[in-house]
Chains A and B, each alone.
With several copies, the nearest count.
Chain A
Amino acid sequence: MSEERLESALEMPLDLERLDDLRIIEALIFASPEPLSEQALREELDEGVEVLALLEELATQYSNRGIHLVSIDGKWAFRTAADLAPFLTKYKIVKKKLSRVAQETLAIIAYHQPVTRAEIEDVRGVQTSSGTLDVLLETGWIKMRGRRRAPGRPITYGTTDLFLDQFGLSKIDDLPGLNELKGAGLLDGTVPASFEVPSSQKLETLMDDEVSLEDEDEGEE
């Protein structure tokens, strides 16, 4: 790229008048609040100045800089180079608390993984909006693990390492069990027998009734 740059720079006109015209065009376009048409530029320059040729020359000179001279609908403006967009984008971090529904869903996934959407709904007793799962997937705390070997081959969800990180758990077994929840006063009354903390061994690999997500063929058989 730098070689190209050198080349284009070497093409700079030695003709001073032409150089001045280039400078004027450059400044006019830069200072203009809107893209400038050739006509508008022509009006500012001496008659006979080949505006279009100069514009193209300028565009070439800027072609590998951080700013490009671009033509938008026949009007000219400077714009930052498209490839630099990532450097020009500012990321603002907005902290948001997980909604109660999302908290519940995340907890179900954590305690019951691998779990399908239907199973989540069964535990919650209400339908789960896809938005909730999307938000949770966005947090990076849950992932799609695979598909259940069952009619419809539903996707199974589970927690990620990031989840363990976020909640300060070293493994999924560290999630408090039934008795601990009771002990913490979080739980009283009857709890279904199905309540169990999945063991981390189970989580590493796909379960017997799970197939990998990529393994689409099997699903279509």
Chain B
Amino acid sequence: MTNQLPTQFDDQWTQEVSSENDGMTEDDRLLVELDGFEGPLDLLLGLAREKKLDISQISIADLATQYIDYINDLKKHRLEIAADYLVMAAWLVFLKSKLILPSEDEEAESPSGDQLAAQLAFRLKRLEAMRAKGTELMARPQLGEDFFAAGSPLGRQTVAKIEYKAELFDLLKAYSLLQQRQSAQGYKVKKRQVWSIKKARDRLSSLLGMSIEWAPINELIASFMGAETAQKTTVASTFGATLEMARDGVIEIKQSGPFQPLYVKSSNMKSSDVNSVTGSKETADE
């Protein structure tokens, strides 16, 4: 029973219905009329209102007859009629027949003609009521038309209140990091004393230059060993220097066995007598 008519209802029906005797041709009038209705229910309501002011008093059978006549009239003029108007007309024919038929034929399951008529009357009344309420609502004093809100509500001043968050952990972390940063800043890397190989070689050359025989390297080193911290670097560099000098053939090295003291002597004496004192002296003199 839900019907469809895409046109907009614009409450023209009273005007249109009453314009029956105007100079319009009949075809025009009917076309305009149907366009003015929002579906069959609306048309029914229009026809009802034309007859009587009080819908509750209207005879549904009469109304059905009127509607069917109206549609037949339109058909006579071969006007295109939307399907739902025709469905309603067919339904009303059915309703009329039901109303005429004796009620004992009624089965319990299908509603009687009177019930159907009452239902239709109810729908018409409800639609009319809603239509009236819509108009009534619109007629009420309205905000912005008849009554007004404050023209310039100032609103409320918002003051942001900052709430600081901090956890004890954050605080401790910050403090610890700070302390560490500070102590790191106070630490100065002391310059390491490094005995370079070149230095060791120079020193060794001058010492060996004075020595004429095998000399234990520890003693040689001890003679120019500085601070204790420098001990390792001196030993390492001196050892490196002796190897370098031996490679160059400037000195000779001997060791009696693993972990035994190392002996060095100048090798510029051509003599094979490695024990020769004069040889090493001569070399040193050169």
Contact = CB atoms under 8 A, between A and B. Distances in A.
A127 B175 contact: no
B147 A111 contact: no
A56 to B, nearest CB: 20
B2 to A, nearest CB: 5
B141 A85 contact: yes
Contacts of A106: 134, 137, 166, 171, 174
Contacts of A28: 156
A91 B145 CA distance: 8
B94 to A, nearest CB: 17
Contact of B1 (A79, A80, A125, A138): A125
A187 B179 contact: yes
Contacts of B158: 89-92
A80 B155 CA distance: 10
Nearest to A101: B9
Contacts of A82: 141, 146-147
Interface in A82-140: 82, 84-85, 88-108, 110-111, 118, 121-127, 129, 135, 138-139
A192 interface: yes
Contact of A79 (B38, B130, B143, B184): B143
Contact of A107 (B11, B157, B175, B187): B175
A181 interface: yes
Task: Bin the interface of chain B by size.
Answer: 35 or more
A27 B148 contact: yes
Name, among B130, B162, B187, the residue most crowded by chain A CB atoms within 10 Å (CB to CB): B130
A92 B130 contact: no
Interface stretch (A9-17, A161-169, A201-209, A211-219): A161-169
Name, among A33, A78, A122, A166, the residue most crowded by chain B CB atoms within 10 Å (CB to CB): A166
B215 interface: no
B150 A30 contact: yes
Contacts of A135: 164
B38 to A, nearest CB: 5
A192 B125 CA distance: 18
B119 interface: yes
Contact of B171 (A27, A110, A184): A110
Contacts of A139: 164
Nearest to B40: A125
B48 to A, nearest CB: 13
B182 A123 contact: yes
Interface in B180-231: 180-187
B41 interface: yes
A91 B5 contact: no
A80 B150 CA distance: 8
B182 A32 contact: no
B105 interface: no
Contact of A123 (B127, B159, B160): B127
Nearest to B128: A186
A103 B174 contact: yes
Contacts of A108: 130, 175, 178
Interface of B: 1-6, 8-11, 38-42, 119, 122-123, 125-127, 129-131, 133-138, 140-168, 170-187
Given A91-B159, A103-B173, A107-B137, 20 more contacts: A34-B152, A79-B149, A85-B141, A90-B158, A91-B158, A100-B8, A104-B134, A104-B178, A106-B174, A107-B172, A124-B41, A124-B127, A125-B42, A127-B3, A166-B143, A166-B144, A169-B168, A176-B140, A181-B176, A189-B180
11 contacts: A31-B149, A79-B148, A88-B148, A94-B162, A97-B164, A104-B175, A107-B175, A126-B3, A139-B164, A167-B166, A190-B123
